[in-house]
């Protein structure tokens, strides 16, 4: 399985020139990393820029940061999975805690978005995670199980292999504390346990579960090597080409 490294640029950078510069610097760096990578130890890198930059950036796998669940029509301000597919997008981040918080995205809406993405052959990156308050009152497991169960409702066994789950404890996102390796490992195991309950052993073993939350060049490798993450979702550090490349180099 390739290690998946996803850059979530969020609402950055502020103009096309900076977006192109960042993208090209990452692209150049990846080319040289790939030349030194042993066969079979491949890393898949996905860049998720704001919608407005998608069609400017070419030569690396692209992801979107959101999507709407209808195919087309009178939905002002929204972008469809069909349109993303046409823009050569392969992955879509869905259910990010910032979308849950600022756009009031519910599990029901997230579920519809996942289904629409799968219908258009896009791979959803489903973000789940507990807030600091939920963790404090001992509700982490309950929150994760509810999110997984509701977000994947009605998604059948053969579709699940196209889904990536990103465990992103909300309290670890941004310039905060990253989640410890032990805690990440136990959350990933718990996620696999829920998937086992909903599907089967093979799916629970094979579904890609990645970690996100204050990942940088120094801590990245531990999440892969010691916490059992199949990849990383990287916010802040993905806006600095050198730091992002350091992450890619460290996990290869
Ligand atoms: C994110 O927003 O998905 C994220 C992981 O951000 P950061 O790396 O900045 O914590």
Distance in Å, CA 235 to ligand 1 centroid = 4
At residue 53, the pLDDT reads 98
Per the residue annotation, which of 96, 105, 130, 134 is the catalytic one? Answer: 96
How would residue 38 be classed by pLDDT, with cut points 50, 70 and 90?
low
**Does the pLDDT of residue 114 top 90, yes or no?**
yes
96 is catalytic: yes
Q: Output the residue whose Cα is nearest ligand 1's atom 8.
A: 235
- Atom number, ligand 1, closest to the C-alpha of residue 176: 10
Q: What is the mean pLDDT of the chain?
A: 96
Query: How confident is the model over 212-243, as pLDDT tens digits?
Result: 999 999 999 999 999 999 999 999 999 999 99
- Atom number, ligand 1, closest to the C-alpha of residue 214: 10
Q: Concatenated DSSP letters for the chain?
A: -PEEEEEE--S--SSHHHHHHHHHHHHHHHHHHHHTSPTT--EEEEEE--GGGGGG--SSEEEES--BSSSSSS-TT--BHHHHHHTTEEEEEES-HHHHHHS---HHHHHHHHHHHHHTT-EEEEEE---HHHHHTT-HHHHHHHHHHHHTTT--HHHHTT-EEEE--GGGSSSSPPPPHHHHHHHHHHHHHHHHHHS-HHHHHHSEEEEESS--TTTHHHHHHTS--SEEEESGGGGSHHHHHHHHHHH-
Pocket of ligand 1 (CB under 6 A): 8, 168, 173-174, 212-215, 233-237
240 is catalytic: no
At residue 42, the pLDDT reads 85
């Amino acid at each position: 399985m390739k290690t998946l490294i996803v850059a979530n640029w969020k609402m950055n950078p502020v103009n096309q020139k900076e977006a192109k510069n960042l993208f090209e610097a990452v692209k150049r760096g990846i080319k040289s990393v790939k030349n030194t990578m042993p066969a079979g130890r491949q890393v898949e890198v996905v860049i998720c820029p704001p919608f407005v930059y998608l069609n400017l950036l070419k030569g690396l796998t692209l992801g979107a940061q959101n999507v709407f669940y209808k195919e087309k029509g009178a939905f002002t301000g929204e972008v469809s999975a069909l349109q993303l597919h046409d823009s050569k997008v392969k992955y879509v981040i869905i259910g990010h805690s910032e979308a849950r918080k600022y756009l009031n995205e519910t599990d029901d809406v997230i579920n519809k978005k996942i289904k629409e993405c799968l219908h258009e052959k896009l791979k959803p990156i489903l973000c789940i995670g507990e807030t600091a308050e939920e963790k404090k009152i001992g509700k982490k497991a309950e929150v994760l199980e509810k999110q997984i169960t509701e977000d994947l409702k009605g998604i059948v066994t053969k579709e699940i292999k196209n889904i990536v789950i990103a465990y992103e404890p909300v309290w670890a996102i941004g310039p905060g504390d990253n989640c410890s390796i032990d805690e990440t490992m136990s959350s990933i195991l718990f996620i696999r346990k829920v998937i086992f309950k909903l599907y089967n052993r093979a799916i629970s073993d094979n579904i890609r579960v990645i970690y996100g939350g204050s990942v940088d060049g120094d801590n990245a490798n531990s999440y892969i090597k010691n916490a059992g993450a199949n990849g990383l979702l990287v916010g802040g550090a993905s806006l600095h080409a050198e730091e992002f490349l350091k992450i890619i180099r460290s996990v290869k």
